[in-house]
Each structure stands twice: as structure tokens, then as C-alpha cells.
Amino acid sequence: MRSMNRLFAAVLGLALVAGAQAAEKVYQVASDAAYAPFEWQDKNQKVVGFDIDVLSAAAAKAGIKVQFHNTPWEGIFATLATGDRDIVASAVTITPERKQTMDFSDPYFEAKQLIAVTANSPIKRFADLKGKKVGVQTGTTGDEVVQKLLGKTSPNIKRFESTPLALQELLSGGVDAVVADNGVVVNFLANNKNAKLKTLDDPSFAKEHYGFAVKKGNKDLLAKINKGLATIKADGTYDKIYRKYFGN
Ligand code: ARG
């Protein structure tokens, strides 16, 4: 009888330890937090933004914990393969090429490229960027779009480690245009009212969809994120977050 009790206590103890460990699992999230309104750092260095609110809300519904880390865009996807991070939440466009090396959640935001130029620029459309210096963030879909027009190795493509840096270069005259995600360009213009920049849309730019990226094959985590996303889309939480950042 005694040994039975001891066995019972041991099994109970193991179950408690296992339970505590399961509850403590915190998924580590990489965001290049120089990308307002999707991700940036507030004055306390906390990573905040639309992506953070969406993923946090989805995670809460799925019963998982997430922790965000400002992580440079260059090399951000490699952190999944190495296991340093479990999720990339960084306004990442779902592309067929990226899908070969990582898995994506269901889409959570629609975007497209936008051209930023100075207010008095003669540039009217995307094709006018031929022969011009164009700023992009390295390795983004903006970079890819511009490569198609100017050629992969064109010296006229000026690559920056962040999109705000590319836009600063436009302000200081180092580039003639910047091609980047619409939401970030619009946000930059709104916060730099005196800068005299304007945006140009181009019908050749394809629709893009942002997804949360996980290590290829991490089906379990992906299912949880997707379940959470579906829940917040259905119960109005997503719409509320959307309105907070983008109005109606
Ligand atoms: N949507 C673009 C892409 O996936 C740009 C994303 C850049 N995100 C960032 N946080 N810097 O290539």
C-alpha cells in the first residue's frame, strides 16, 4: 500500500512538472521593428504595432504565449532554421520562393508596392524609374520588383537595411525614388508632413499578402496560429485592431 502511495505521488509529481513546462512554453517572435505601423519600438524599446497586436490576439485565442524581439531584417528568416525564433511577424509577404524554405500562416493583411518620390519629381510611373537611382530595403518584395525593371545587378538599385533609411535617403536627395510596402510609405509621409514627398501607384504591382512565418514543417505551431487568426477574424477582434491602425 505504501509503495502504491509512493508510486502515485511520483506519477502525480511528474504530471505536475510536465504540466508546468507545457504552460511555460513561450514562442519567440522576430520582428524588424523599423516598420511602422506594422512593427516599431516605443520609447521603452518595447516592440509594438499592428503585427504584434494581431499575433498576440491570435495567440491568446489559441492558448499560446508569444514574446517579441527586435530582429534585423537581414537574416531574419535564418532565425527560424536555427531555432533562435519560432515565428517571424514582420509584415512578411507570402511568396512562392519563400514558401520553399519556410511555412506561412493564413494571410492576415493585404498590401502592395508603392513608389515614393519628391513632390516636384518628373517621375510619373514605374517605367520612369529606368536609369534612376531607386532605394529599397534589401531582400524585400520592393527590391524584387525593382530588380525586374532595372536588372538584378543594376548599380542604380540602392539597398538599405531598413525602409525608413531608404526614405531618409530620398529626403536627402541620394535616391530619386523608393519602392516599398504601401502601409509603411503612407505612414512615413504622414509623419513627415514637411518633407514634400508624394506617392505613385502602378497597375503592374501585384497584390501581396502578409503571413506569419514558421520553421518549415512546424505544423503544430502553424495550426495554432491559424486557429487563433480564424477566431479573431470571426469575433471582430481583428477588425478592431485594423481600425486602431488604419481607420475604417
Ligand atoms: N512585405 C515586404 C516583404 O516581405 C517587406 C517586409 C519588411 N518588413 C520589415 N519589418 N522590415 O518583403
Question: By C-alpha distance, which of 122, 126, 123 is closest to 114?
Answer: 126
Split at pLDDT 50, 70, 90, the class of 199 is very high
In this prediction, residue 76 carries a pLDDT of 98
Angle, in degrees to the nearest 10, between helices 182-191 and 163-171:
50
Distance between alpha carbon 73 and the CA centroid of its chain, in Å?
Answer: 9
In the reported structure, the alpha carbon of residue 163 is separated from the centroid of ligand 1 by a whole-number distance in angstroms of: 9
Question: Ligand 1 centre from 131 Cα, in Å?
Answer: 25
Q: What is the mean pLDDT of residues 223-239?
A: 98
Residue pair 207/107 in contact (Cβ under 8 Å)? The answer is no
Could you tell me the pLDDT band of residue 7, with boundaries at 50, 70 and 90? low
Bigger pLDDT: 166 vs 10: 166
Atom of ligand 1 nearest to the CA of 143: 12
| Fold agreement between 25-110+208-246 and 113-200 | yes
Q: Mapping DSSP to helix (H, G, I), strand (E, B) and coil, where does residue 100 land?
A: coil
The pLDDT of residue 10 is 62
List, as one string, the DSSP characters of 101-151. TEEE-S--EEE-EEEEEETT-S--SGGGGTTS-EEEETTSHHHHHHHHHH-
Residue 204 CA to residue 195 CA, distance in Å, equals 27
Assess whether pLDDT exceeds 60 at residue 19: no
- What's this model's pTM, rounded to 2 decimal places? 0.91
Q: Give the pLDDT band (50/70/90) at residue 43.
A: very high
Q: What is the pLDDT of the chain when averaged over all its residues?
A: 94
| Structural contact between residues 18 and 58, judged by C-beta atoms closer than 8 angstroms | no
How many other CB atoms sit within 10 Å of the CB of residue 36? 20
Residues lining ligand 1, CB < 6 A? Answer: 32, 35, 39, 73, 90-93, 137, 140-141, 163, 181
Amino acid at 211: G
**pLDDT computed for residue 21 by the predictor:** 55
> What local confidence, expressed as pLDDT, does residue 12 receive?
58
Q: What is the pLDDT of residue 125?
A: 96
For ligand 1, pick from 73, 143, 165, 210 the residue to mutate: most ligand atoms within 8 Å of CB. Answer: 73
Mutate to test the pocket of ligand 1, among 39, 79, 90, 162 (most ligand atoms within 8 A of CB): 90
Confidence of residue 111 (pLDDT cuts 50, 70, 90): very high
d(CA 29, CA 66): 7
Q: Read off the pLDDT of each residue in 10-32 and give the average, rounded to a whole number.
A: 72
DSSP 94: P
Query: Of the residues 93, 108, 179, which should be mutated to test ligand 1's pocket, given the most ligand atoms within 8 Å of the CB?
Result: 93
Segment 122-137 mean pLDDT:
97
Query: What CATH number belongs to 25-110+208-246?
Result: 3.40.190.10
Helix (H) or strand (E) holding 200: strand 197-200
**Domain ranges within the chain, ordered by starting residue:** 25-110+208-246, 113-200
pLDDT at position 113 over 60:
yes
Confidence of residue 170 (pLDDT cuts 50, 70, 90): very high
Instruction: Give residue 72 CA to ligand 1 midpoint distance, Å.
Output: 11
Q: What does 13-55 look like in DSSP terms, one character per residue?
A: HHHHHHHHHHHH-EEEEEE-SEETTTEEE-TTS-EESHHHHHH
Atom from ligand 1 closest to the CA of residue 98: 4
Q: What is the pLDDT of residue 3?
A: 60
The fold for domain 113-200 equals D-Maltodextrin-Binding Protein; domain 2 (3.40.190)
Task: State the pLDDT at residue 11.
Answer: 60
Q: Which atom of ligand 1 is nearest to the CA of 93?
A: 4
Residue 94 has pLDDT above 70, yes or no: yes
pLDDT at 29 over 90: yes
Is the pLDDT score of 178 beyond 90?
yes
Cα–ligand 1 centroid distance for 81 (angstroms): 18
